[in-house]
């Protein structure tokens, strides 16, 4: 592989707070040089030169919450389509949930997913292991063996770990193997019959509601157990002001607590389900406008550590049904960057801070060597244009499933190239058709 120089770029590296014009030199799949003063004589050194045209060059995105659907539900997503969707969205590292069929609750299944991912070889894939056998919330998995085999954390995926004794043991054992426990924070008895956020919108639509307090109730219980065990705890896809306030206080107290949210929780509110739009049915449900604003504020002040796509492919049979019967979840890999950049365009956050929540934030939580522009690191890169106006078109998604609540909506931000270990795995200019014809005019 020839060395490659990415020149004339706006370099963004949250790990070092670098935001400056410069270049990156890649040799043997790794970053050889980075910074404003990088220059190579391409003719003399046989280097491929890519002029970035002033676009942003950042570490490849790290998505810490993705459902693979393979093994078991390949009609919704395969490892091939998953990785293709990831690189189209600028994502080079994934952490995958264990709720496949069969469930990833033993070493052989964990290693199967790792081998499957490596065979595709377009992104880094780090699987979570199930926290409890069969995701039943009763008996712990072999956490030590699973951690040795590569599990980056333990979670029951889209199910809350409801039993306090089980959660206490999980936190204690997970701390011994240096892994976090990731919780779906929702008190299950309050959420069992609901499908929308409890309030005026759900009432007007005749839908059973899930009260916002179901989230903070579970988080506050878990925080009490963190105080007891001193374990590492991560709350996934937080969506309410009360939950964010509880996590903010826990961090001030010094507890080992982190959390993430997903773009739909800061870009949409409960009004998105009007007309019974099942593509906007998610778990936890879309919340009030006040909660949406609280999520954005939590990201801005650093209470929320990461933005994850919460990618959950569903087929049409799962969504083209009455709202209460629809499966929750949205595809999010290919819209992760563009929707997150909305926080920059509306003045909520600086660009470097948004990129931090998409790179070093999740990497730090999971202990990964990813999400940074450092000499010697793997050259996992994303080249993007943050101001470019686009219209999201789910029919063009590489994901096998198209269940996006953002389909047809305008956004700003376009991935131009994704590089994995020095190799280009997505290039907009090489996509079928003229990419310029697919872009909205700058004034749209």
pTM across the whole model: 0.94
Element (H or E) spanning 390, and its range? strand 381-391
Q: Is the pLDDT of residue 442 over 70?
A: no
Determine if residue 47 is left, alpha or beta; phi over 0 gives left, psi from -120 to 50 gives alpha, anything else beta.
beta
pLDDT at 43 (0 to 100) = 55
Asked if 215 and 238 count as a contact pair (C-beta separation under 8 A), the reply is: yes
Thinking of the domain 60-366, which architecture would CATH place it in? Alpha-Beta Barrel (3.20)
Tell me the pLDDT tens digit for each residue of 229-244: 999 999 999 999 999 9
What would the CATH number be for the domain defined by 4-57+376-438?
2.30.40.10
Segment 82-111 mean pLDDT: 97
State both tokens at 423: 């190799």
State both tokens at 413: 């931000």
Tell me the pLDDT tens digit for each residue of 330-376: 999 999 999 999 999 999 999 999 999 999 999 999 999 999 999 99
Instruction: Pick the catalytic residue from 63, 310, 353, 380.
Output: 310
> What mean pLDDT is reported for the chain?
95
How many whole angstroms from its chain centre is CA 70?
18
Segment 143-158 mean pLDDT: 97
State both tokens at 148: 């040795």
Integer Cα distance of 443 and 420 in angstroms:
33
**Helix (H), strand (E), coil (C) string for 160-228:** CCCCHHHHHHHHHHHHHCCCCEEECCCCHHHHCCCCEECCHHHHHHCCCEECCHHHHHHHHHHHHHHHH
pLDDT at 1 (0 to 100) = 82
Angle between helices 213-229 and 241-253 in degrees, nearest 10: 20
Q: Max alpha carbon distance in the chain (Å)? A: 71
Tell me the pLDDT tens digit for each residue of 33-61: 999 988 776 556 789 999 999 999 999 99
Integer Cα distance of 183 and 205 in angstroms:
30
Report the percentage of the chain scoring pLDDT > 90.
93
pLDDT at 436 (0 to 100) = 34
Question: Which residues of the chain are in CATH 2.30.40.10 domains?
Answer: 4-57+376-438
Q: Is 310 a catalytic residue?
A: yes
- From 154, 141, 57, 148, select the one nearest 105 (Cα to Cα): 141
Question: Residue 112, SS3?
Answer: helix
Question: Which residues of the chain are in CATH 3.20.20.140 domains?
Answer: 60-366
Tell me which DSSP letter residue 271 carries. G
CA dist 201 → 241, 275, 405, 416 (Å): 18, 11, 17, 39
What band does 113 get if pLDDT is binned at 50, 70 and 90? Answer: very high
Segment 12-27 mean pLDDT: 96
Q: Is the pLDDT of residue 274 over 90?
A: yes
Question: Residue 91, SS3?
Answer: strand
Sequence-ordered list of residues with C-beta below 8 angstroms from that of 52, at least 6 positions apart, any chain: 6, 7, 8, 9, 10, 383
Q: Is the pLDDT of residue 435 over 70?
A: no
What band does 177 get if pLDDT is binned at 50, 70 and 90? Answer: very high
Instruction: Count the Cβ atoms, other than its own, within 10 Å of residue 344.
Output: 19
pLDDT at 40 (0 to 100) = 74
Q: Is the pLDDT of residue 429 over 60?
A: yes
pLDDT at 432 (0 to 100) = 60
Tell me which DSSP letter residue 104 carries. S
What band does 430 get if pLDDT is binned at 50, 70 and 90? Answer: confident
Interstrand relation of 257-261 and 129-130 (parallel, antiparallel or unpaired): unpaired
Asked if 181 and 174 count as a contact pair (C-beta separation under 8 A), the reply is: yes
State both tokens at 192: 């069992």
């Amino acid at each position: 592989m020839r060395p490659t120089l990415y020149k004339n770029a706006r370099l963004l590296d949250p790990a070092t707070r670098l935001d400056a014009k410069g270049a990156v030199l890649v040799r043997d799949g790794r970053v050889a040089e980075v910074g404003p003063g990088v220059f190579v004589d391409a003719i003399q050194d046989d280097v491929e030169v890519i002029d970035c045209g002033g676009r942003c060059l950042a570490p490849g995105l790290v998505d810490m919450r993705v459902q693979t659907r393979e093994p078991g539900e390949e009609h919704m997503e395969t490892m091939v389509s998953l990785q293709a969707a990831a690189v189209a969205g600028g994502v080079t590292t994934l952490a995958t949930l264990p709720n496949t069929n069969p469930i990833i609750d033993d070493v052989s299944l964990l290693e199967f997913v790792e081998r499957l991912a490596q065979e595709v070889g377009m992104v880094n894939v780090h699987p979570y292991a199930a926290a409890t056998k069969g995701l039943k919330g009763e008996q712990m998995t072999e956490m030590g063996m699973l951690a040795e085999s590569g599990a980056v954390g333990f979670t029951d995926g889209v199910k809350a770990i409801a039993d306090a004794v089980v959660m206490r043991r999980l936190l204690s054992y997970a701390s011994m193997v240096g892994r976090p426990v990731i919780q779906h924070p929702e008190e299950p008895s309050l959420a069992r019959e609901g499908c929308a956020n409890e309030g005026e919108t759900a009432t007007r639509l005749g839908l059973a509601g899930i009260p916002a307090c179901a989230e903070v109730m579970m988080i506050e219980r878990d925080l009490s157990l963190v105080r007891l065990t001193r374990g590492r705890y991560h709350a996934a896809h937080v969506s309410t002001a009360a939950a964010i306030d509880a996590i903010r206080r826990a961090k001030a107290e010094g507890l080992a607590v982190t959390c993430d949210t997903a773009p739909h929780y800061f870009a949409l509110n409960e009004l998105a389900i009007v007309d019974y739009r099942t593509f906007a049915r998610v778990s936890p449900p879309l919340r009030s406008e006040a909660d949406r604003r609280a999520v954005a504020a939590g990201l801005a002040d650093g209470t929320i550590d990461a933005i994850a796509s919460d990618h959950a492919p569903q087929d049409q049979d799962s969504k083209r049904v009455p709202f209460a019967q629809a499966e929750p979840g949205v595809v999010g890999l290919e819209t992760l960057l563009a929707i997150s950049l909305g926080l920059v365009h509306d003045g909520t956050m600086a660009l470097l801070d948004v990129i931090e929540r998409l790179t070093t934030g999740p990497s730090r939580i999971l202990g990964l060597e990813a999400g940074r522009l450092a000499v010697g690191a793997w050259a996992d890169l994303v080249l993007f244009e943050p101001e470019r106006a686009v219209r999201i078109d789910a029919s063009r998604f590489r994901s096998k499933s198209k269940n996006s609540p953002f389909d047809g909506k305008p956004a700003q931000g376009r991935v131009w190239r994704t590089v994995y270990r020095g190799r280009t795995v997505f290039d907009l200019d090489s996509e079928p058709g003229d990419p310029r014809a697919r872009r909205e005019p700058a004034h749209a």
